[in-house]
Amino acid sequence: MITLPDLIGFSGVALLIVTYALLQLERIDPKGFWYSFNNLIVAILVTVSLVYTPNLASLVIEFFWFIISVFGLVMYYKRKNENTSN
């Protein structure tokens, strides 16, 4: 039986697959907002499922996925602010 946390995790996996496909099809900018934002949401959604069915290695991956996605968003806003101030 699929539980709510499983559905949440699967939605994160679906978003990851869609985001990766968009990246490979050059429909999304790897330095743009949506790439990092989607990856941040993926990390959160998959972590929800991991809280209910723990897997330490996967939790470590999701932790770093989240941190790197936050970094990507910070860099996006820094670039955006630099471009608007010039």
The answer to whether the pTM exceeds 0.75 is yes
Burial class (CB in 10 A: 0-12, 13-18, 19+), 49: buried
What integer pLDDT is reported at residue 43 of this predicted model?
Answer: 98
Does residue 14 have a pLDDT over 80? Answer: yes
How far is 53 from 1, CA to CA, in rounded Å? 14
How far is 41 from 58, CA to CA, in rounded Å? 15
Residue 55 φ then ψ, to 5°: -150, 105
What integer pLDDT is reported at residue 27 of this predicted model?
Answer: 98
Q: Which residues contact 60 (CB under 8 A, 6 or more apart)?
A: none
User: In this predicted model, what pLDDT tens digit does every residue of 69-78 receive, in sequence order?
Assistant: 999 999 999 9
Opening angle at CA 59, ends 61 and 3, nearest 5: 125
